[in-house]
Amino acid sequence: MRGRLATWLLVPACLLVLAACGSKARQPQVHQVAIRAMAFVPATLEVSVGDSVVWTNEDIVPHTVTAAGTFDSQSMTTKQEWRYTASKAGEYAYGCTFHPTMKGTLTVR
Amino acid sequence: MRISLAAVLSTAALMAFAPACKKSAKETPAVTAPVEGSGSSAAVTAPPPAQVTPPEGSAAAATLTDPQIAAIVVSANQVDIDAGQLALKKSKNEEVKKFAQQMVTDHTAVNKAAVDLVTKLKVTPVESDASRGLVSGGAETRAKLEKLDGDAFDRAYVDNEVAYHQAVIGVLDSQLIPSASNTELKNTLVGVKPAFDAHLQHALHIQAALAGSGSAAHAHGK
């Protein structure tokens, strides 16, 4: 009788705990990419839909973060930051419109 | 053992700059060979960028003071800004114009950073034979480029940009960076070198494209 009572108390308690855990959806994360020495660091980044990426220009010369048709920071001067929130899954190749050698890839899952 | 991303990035940055730091200050300056444009039909051979000779009385073969380095940096940037502005005025090739605009933008930014730094450090740039040579060489090159038009101009301009950036990078590695006493100045010089490397790569790419295109059509509106 006592065992059965414990079971009937335990099961709802577990269900309550599971419900509480499930209601805490993954919080969007913020990722950092440095624009340094004419490169994106890291050059490849994987994020989740809803996450944000902040690019920071650590170089002296201006740069852009541009994925044609998807996102474009426009010209970023030294120390300037630009934030993009990933809203759609996909793989996005991007670069700097000023400096053709600079390439990066953003993968959104 | 967990290795932080910052540690990996720092190690990677050090490895990237190690070759430049290892170079001896006693190395002969890289600015020597005259420029011959590859595939250029221009009668103009762009004069070689001025040789950076150390001031008399300097203890080491390639030791420069921070004020002299500051003047060289400003002069070197200004020469390329001026050449870029000339190309923006004369070229009809969209790729060349885009490159020229980038030279103006980037070298202006580097000059601003250099001037801001020397102002902060209360360093007054001191002209030297090196900085004066850069200025006079730049003027001489612009005078010759002024006489050219069309494809001949484009090729001569880009050929000179290749040679000029090769020379400046060489001087950065062999003299300016090793000689800089102030840490912030040295870090600024190290920090801008990748930009000059990227300029060189971009110029080489355009040089190859111009050489391969023969009587290159002007890429209007691309």
**B23-37 pLDDT per residue, tens:** 333 333 333 333 333
- Decide if B9 and A41 are in contact by the 8 Å CB cutoff: yes
Of the partner residues B5, B192, B198, the one whose CB lies closest to the CB of residue A101: B198
- Decide if A98 and B105 are in contact by the 8 Å CB cutoff: yes
| Contact status of B192 with chain A (Cβ, < 8 Å) | yes
- Decide if B106 and A62 are in contact by the 8 Å CB cutoff: yes
Q: Tell whether the model's pLDDT for residue B54 goes beyond 60.
A: no
Query: What is the per-residue pLDDT across A70-94, written as a single tens digit (0 to 9) for each?
Result: 999 999 999 999 999 999 999 999 9
Q: Which pLDDT score is estimated for B45?
A: 45
Structure tokens at B48: 């070689």
| Contact status of B191 with chain A (Cβ, < 8 Å) | yes
The Cα of B56 is separated from the nearest Cα of chain A by a number of Å equal to: 33
- Which of these ranges, A2-6, B61-65, B183-187, has the smallest mean pLDDT? A2-6
Structure tokens at A97: 């419109």
Structure tokens at B220: 């209007």
> Which of B23 and A105 is assigned the larger pLDDT?
A105
Q: Which pLDDT score is estimated for B21?
A: 39
- Decide if B195 and A61 are in contact by the 8 Å CB cutoff: yes
Tell me the pTM. Answer: 0.73
List CB contacts (< 8 A) between A45 and chain B.
none
Structure tokens at A5: 């009572």
Range ranked top by mean pLDDT from B10-24, B32-46, B51-65, B155-169:
B155-169
- Decide if A59 and B194 are in contact by the 8 Å CB cutoff: yes
Neighbouring CB atoms inside 10 A of B28's CB total: 11
- Decide if B194 and A60 are in contact by the 8 Å CB cutoff: no
Q: Which pLDDT score is estimated for A13?
A: 61
| Contact status of B14 with chain A (Cβ, < 8 Å) | no
- Which of these ranges, A43-57, B49-63, B203-217, has the smallest mean pLDDT? B49-63
Q: Tell whether the model's pLDDT for residue B55 goes beyond 50.
A: no
**Cis peptide leading into residue A62 (ω within 30°):** no
| Contact status of B96 with chain A (Cβ, < 8 Å) | no
- Contacts (Cβ under 8 Å, ≥6 apart) of B85: B100, B104
- Decide if B202 and A101 are in contact by the 8 Å CB cutoff: yes
- Contacts (Cβ under 8 Å, ≥6 apart) of A4: none
**For residues B108 and B77, is the Cβ–Cβ distance under 8 A?**
yes
| Contact status of B113 with chain A (Cβ, < 8 Å) | yes
The Cα of B114 is separated from the nearest Cα of chain A by a number of Å equal to: 10
Query: What is the per-residue pLDDT across B38-51, written as a single tens digit (0 to 9) for each?
Result: 333 333 444 444 44
Q: Tell whether the model's pLDDT for residue A20 goes beyond 60.
A: no
Q: Tell whether the model's pLDDT for residue A11 goes beyond 50.
A: yes
> To the nearest whole percent, how much of chain A has pLDDT over 90?
74
- Residue B169's Cβ-side half-sphere holds a number of Cα atoms within 13 Å equal to 18
Q: How confident is the model at residue B15 (pLDDT cuts 50, 70, 90)?
A: very low
A47 forms beta bridges with A108
List CB contacts (< 8 A) between A38 and chain B.
194-195, 197-198
> Which of A41 and B40 is assigned the larger pLDDT?
A41
Nearest chain A alpha carbon to B101:
A98
